[in-house]
Structure 1
Amino acid sequence: MTPAALADYLHQHIPLSRAMDVSVVSAGVGEVVLEAPLEPNINVHGTMFGGSAATLGLLAAWSVTHLRLEAEGIANQLVIHRTEMEYLRPIEGCVRASARLDEESWQAFRHVFDRRHRARINVTAELLFGGEVAARLAGEFVAIAER
């Protein structure tokens, strides 16, 4: 899927991504990088609202998992089961969220999914601002095979 196609998909199916003005920098089966400006995501302190930062990380982690499942032809419903967000420093401008799939975790996930038609995988997204990691999201996703 191209970055433009992923952006269109997110904006159509997850309208909050449009309100946040999320753009897709890169979209692949191993890594997704999203970006969001400060202005529509600003809080009372003039920095990025924590909920926006968490949503951007969640969108990146969900997207890389979704693209890999799609590339492997696996019809499924992908949902978030659990997240944990760590805020390391204020985000005072445009931020990028990068999420990668760990190949060893993916293989273990596929093994369980192929046997049980449902599996969980942990995916981490890092939010980068000013060349440093400003926040980190750890998400546990569940894919359920469509029958």
Structure 2
Amino acid sequence: MQPIEQRLTSFFQQHLPLAQEIGMEVSYYDGRRLQLSAPLSPNINDKFTAFGGSLYCLAVMSCWGMVYLQTEAAEVDCNLVVSRGEIDYLRPVSEQVFSAVCDIEEGDFEMFLADFKQKGKAKITLSSTILAEGKVAVSFKGEYAILPPVVLREKN
């Protein structure tokens, strides 16, 4: 695993208990494609397929993770949030390990990062898919925003 991928994995482990519960992990990243995977066993529903909430989490986090990795690579200090998301569940997912993939094109992030540097905030729309038996089973589209960094306070 490359150091930048390890930062994303560490973030998931430190800040997202749900990621640990569903077994989410970075399975591939090359700068233009991020693939997050999870095993079926902790995510199974009463129909013996992947639970819709787990599919949503993996899909939304693959796009969130892409923004995280792109801002980390550009050394942009920001607060990253999901501002909107929509999902279509097209077929059941029963693979023992299922994956959400977020792909970006060359140049997708240049304007996004330029907007942030100029305006102090920016939005981007990304999508991800989860396949089952080689066909799209889940299609997700979300809007992500980066804002100035916030100072987090510890809970008392």
TM-score by length of 2: 0.86
Matches within 5 A, 1:17-32: 17-32=19-34
The one-letter amino acid paired with 1:131 is G
Q: Output the amino acid matched with 1:99.
A: C
Question: Contact 2:34 / 2:66 at 8 angstroms: preserved in 1?
Answer: yes
| 1:127 maps to 2:130 | yes
SS in 2 for 1:98: strand
Instruction: Give identity over the alignment, percent.
Output: 30
Q: What secondary structure sits across from 2:91 in the alignment? A: coil
Question: Per-residue deviation at 1:132?
Answer: 1.8
* SS of aligned partner of 1:146: coil
Q: Is the 8 A contact 1:122 1:139 kept in 2?
A: yes
- Structure 1 unpaired stretches of 5+: none
- C-alpha distance in structure 1 between counterparts of 2:14 and 2:86, whole Å: 26
Structure 1 residues 57-66 or 110-119, which shifts more? 110-119
Contact 2:4 2:73 in 1 (8 A): no
Aligned residues: 147
Query: What is the TM-score normalised by the length of structure 1?
Result: 0.91
Counterpart Cα distance in 1 of 2:113 and 2:41: 40
CA RMSD of aligned residues (A): 1.7
Asked whether the 8 Å contact 2:124–2:145 carries over to 1, the reply is: yes
Equivalent of 1:146, from 149, 153, 156? 149
Once residues 6 and 79 of structure 2 are traced to their aligned partners in structure 1, the CA distance between those partners, rounded to angstroms, is 22
| 1:115 paired to 2:118 | yes
Distance in 1, matches of 2:128 and 2:13, equals 20
Q: Partners of 2:118 and 2:7 in 1: how far apart?
A: 31
Equivalent residue, structure 1, for 2:100? 97
Q: Report the AA paired with residue 117 of structure 2.
A: D
Counterpart contact for 1:29–1:65, Cα < 8 Å: no
